[in-house]
With several copies, the nearest count.
Chain A
Amino acid sequence: MAKVISIEEAVDLIKDGMTIMVAGFWGVGTPEKLIDALVAKGTKNLTSISISTALTTKGVGKLVANRQLKKVIVSYIGRNPATSEQYESGDLEVEFVPQGTLAERIRAGGFGLGGILTPTGVGTEIEQGKQRITVDGRDYLLEKPLRADVALIKAYKADKAGNLVYRKAARNTNPLMAAAADITIVQADEILEIGEIDPDEVMTPGIFVDYLVQG
């Protein structure tokens, strides 16, 4: 059961020091209105999990530019000079995670797995501090689950039961992150009544969703 709240109420759920997941790929599939409200509020010392830090004017990148983050867990920070600058000055911690591993770690966090074994990164720098496990003669890294206090999700359609539908390339990390946070907040282009989304069409079941915000 999802509760429809205002954008202000939504960002009030995010407290200083929390870990957030922000869905999207170069801002496509990112709930920009929620990000803007979070920028306006100025919540600090956040850790953010996302594919990239996008641009200084898009997605998570706005939070970087506004110096609200102490750490980012990402696969890519190119195209956002604010991230590089704060990373080099030591103001921002950056944990690089291969994109496929990031997706699986988030999924594992949402789905109660203690981790996954991936061949990605074996023998590279990102193996540091990780357990290498051999299964049937091939080497894998044990990668641990990721969870967040709050996930910020962008849907195309939502119903009041919290069921979500995404559109085109805006799906990306949304279905994964929606399941992997204690509180899942969705900015939806359209909020429909219960029953207005065909149960076969749902991409994220309402069971994962806590709050809806009109996009």
Chain B
Amino acid sequence: MDAKDVFIAKRVAQEFKDGDFVNLGIGIPTLVGNYIPKGVRVFFHSENGFTHIGPMPNSEEDIDRELINASDQYVTILPGGAFFDSAVSFGIIRGGHLAATVLGGLQVDQEGNLANWRMPGKKTVGMGGGMDLAVGAKRVIIAMEHTNKGEPKIVKKCNVPLTGLKCVDLIVTEMAVMAVTEKGLVLKEIAPGVTVDQVRAATEAEFTVDPDLKIISVE
């Protein structure tokens, strides 16, 4: 596991309130589940049709072949969970019943547009439930590395196919936490040892700096 990714996941995990229902996308977002602060109960929604995703089974004989998560991994369900069909599952997503979703990103632009499903020139595998999550969850948090091989991922305007229009609320990277506001991107927090100038150099988008800028603090 990449240390940057763990750092991002830990910071994202601070975003939830006790009792929140949350959907985690694949990649860095999946890691977030490992770092929920003590005392905060977060319930995870699985788009294939249940809430209260539990840990993976301890042993082969604990596996239930009809209980997988959306990434086709055997999981368990915690007490209080419920199963439902795909229409209800996406009704939950689209209807704003999730406090948040955490998704990866190829690009996010300063208007909060998100691109994460298709990269021209690479294989197209489909959007799965990503487009629904992007427009449906109450808060859309993007957990991604700040740049791709030095190339900024937080841009003025996305130039790869969009997943959702003006849907992003918060961007968490290994360098920074940025909020998408009506007045544009606002740098809210920076990683320890990182300067605002370094964030600016790694970011194509315009952003303002919160007068109350904080240092990201994770355990």
Contact = CB atoms under 8 A, between A and B. Distances in A.
Contacts of B46: 169
B68 A25 contact: yes
Contacts of B93: 100, 112
Interface in A43-94: 51-52, 74-79, 84, 87-88
A175 interface: yes
B55 interface: no
B131 A126 contact: yes
B201 interface: no
A161 B66 contact: no
Interface string A92-116: 0000101111111011001111000
A151 B163 CA distance: 30
A167 interface: yes
B136 A51 contact: no
A159 B82 CA distance: 11
Given A25-B49, A74-B126, A99-B128, A122 B67 contact: no
B128 A76 contact: yes
A205 interface: yes
A161 B80 contact: yes
Chain A contact patch, size range: 35 or more
B68 A169 contact: yes
Given A104-B87, A195-B80, A205 B48 contact: no
A169 to B, nearest CB: 5
A123 interface: yes
A98 B80 contact: no
Contacts of A74: 126
A199 B48 contact: no
Residue from A112, A159, A166, A195 whose CB has the most chain B CB atoms within 10 Å: A112
Contacts of A121: 131
B49 A176 contact: no
Interface string A2-30: 00000000000000000000000110110
B20 to A, nearest CB: 9
Interface of A: 1, 25-26, 28-29, 51-52, 74-79, 84, 87-88, 96, 98-104, 106-107, 110-113, 118-126, 156, 159-161, 163, 166-176, 179, 194-195, 199-200, 202-203, 205-208
Given A120-B131, A206-B82, A207-B51, 19 more contacts: A25-B86, A26-B48, A74-B126, A75-B128, A98-B128, A102-B86, A110-B91, A119-B94, A120-B132, A124-B162, A156-B66, A168-B66, A169-B46, A172-B86, A173-B85, A194-B80, A202-B84, A206-B51, A207-B45
22 contacts: A28-B65, A28-B68, A76-B127, A78-B125, A98-B127, A98-B128, A98-B132, A99-B127, A103-B85, A103-B89, A104-B87, A111-B87, A126-B127, A161-B52, A163-B80, A167-B66, A168-B50, A179-B97, A205-B51, A205-B92, A206-B82, A207-B51
